[in-house]
Amino acid sequence: MKDFRLDERLERDSELVTVLGLCQLRLMKDSRWPWLLLVPQRQAVTEIFQLTPLDQTLLTFESNTVAAALKRVTDARKINVGALGNMVSQLHVHIVARFEGDPNWPGPIWGFGTAEPYRDDAKQKFLKTLVEAL
Amino acid sequence: MKDFRLDERLERDSELVTVLGLCQLRLMKDSRWPWLLLVPQRQAVTEIFQLTPLDQTLLTFESNTVAAALKRVTDARKINVGALGNMVSQLHVHIVARFEGDPNWPGPIWGFGTAEPYRDDAKQKFLKTLVEAL
């Protein structure tokens, strides 16, 4: 991991929750949706297929573990998983809990409206239940 | 695969390109972006984490193979990969080639504007180069 350096925009827009085997698990600073990021700690990788086969498998495992935990703790209608990277090229995977009637449902979350910060107590409560569920 | 039945909306909005080990590879009937779908041939699965571990690994392999081929044949700026499923719950993974200045760049493709059909010759040419690159 020693060569890994987090993209500045990801650093600014999200906060570290924990470090898994391959990825940083981060929480987006936007309370409109329970919205997590996985950022593989590999430098200069922009596409999943550029990871080694082992890292691809690790990412799959971590992504599915996090998605299943997020579904469990939020009871979401649907989990959205996406690796876009049109604005921030450093590889990162969005894992988002969606609910009928949430902002822009059933459309995508990306590029919609303006982030709304968490209240500190709501954030701490969510992160505690999430980390316990991992 | 005998119990698998493709969702009617996916059937209508996309056409079969080929069948891989786990998934149907399909082309969306929308020429605005080179836009593929992978549909695991498993009934009643809506989230990637509901697949067996083997199927999760197969999906990762097929998704990355298709994404790398799509990047190669289109020379796209970025490949977008997403499993949303807010409208069609049957598990399906979008794999989309994105270019600076394409419709809604750098925003997401989902829910944007109206599909534009392919000209038959353009579609056949694209599918031929894609299948050769797989």
Residue whose entry in the numeric block shows the structure tokens 């987090």: A6
Spatial CB neighbours of B92, under 8 Å, sequence gap ≥ 6: B7, B10, B37, B38, B39, B83, B85
d(CA B80, CA A87): 11
Yes or no: say if A35 and A62 are a contact pair by the CB < 8 Å rule.
Answer: no
Q: Record the tokens describing residue A62, joined without a space.
A: 């971590």
pLDDT at residue A2, as a whole number: 64
ipTM of this complex prediction, to 2 decimal places:
0.96
Residues from chain A contacting residue B63 (CB–CB below 8 Å) = 48
Could you say which residues of chain B have pLDDT below 70?
A: 1-2
Is the model's pLDDT at A114 over the cut of 70?
Answer: yes
For B108, the token pair is 């997401």
pLDDT digits 0-9 by tens, A36-57: 999 999 999 999 999 999 999 9
Residues within 8 A of B (CB atoms), A 78-107 only: 78-87, 89, 98, 105-107
Domains and CATH numbers, chain A: 8-133 (3.30.428.10)
Percent of chain A with pLDDT over 70: 99
Instruction: Provide the number of CB pairs (under 8 Å) joining chain A to chain B.
Output: 100
pLDDT band, very low/low/confident/very high, at A3 (cuts 50, 70, 90): confident
User: In this predicted structure, what is the pLDDT of residue B3?
Assistant: 86
Q: Strand runs (DSSP E) across B2-132, as ranges?
A: 14-19, 23-28, 35-40, 78-83, 93-98
- A35 pLDDT more than 90: yes
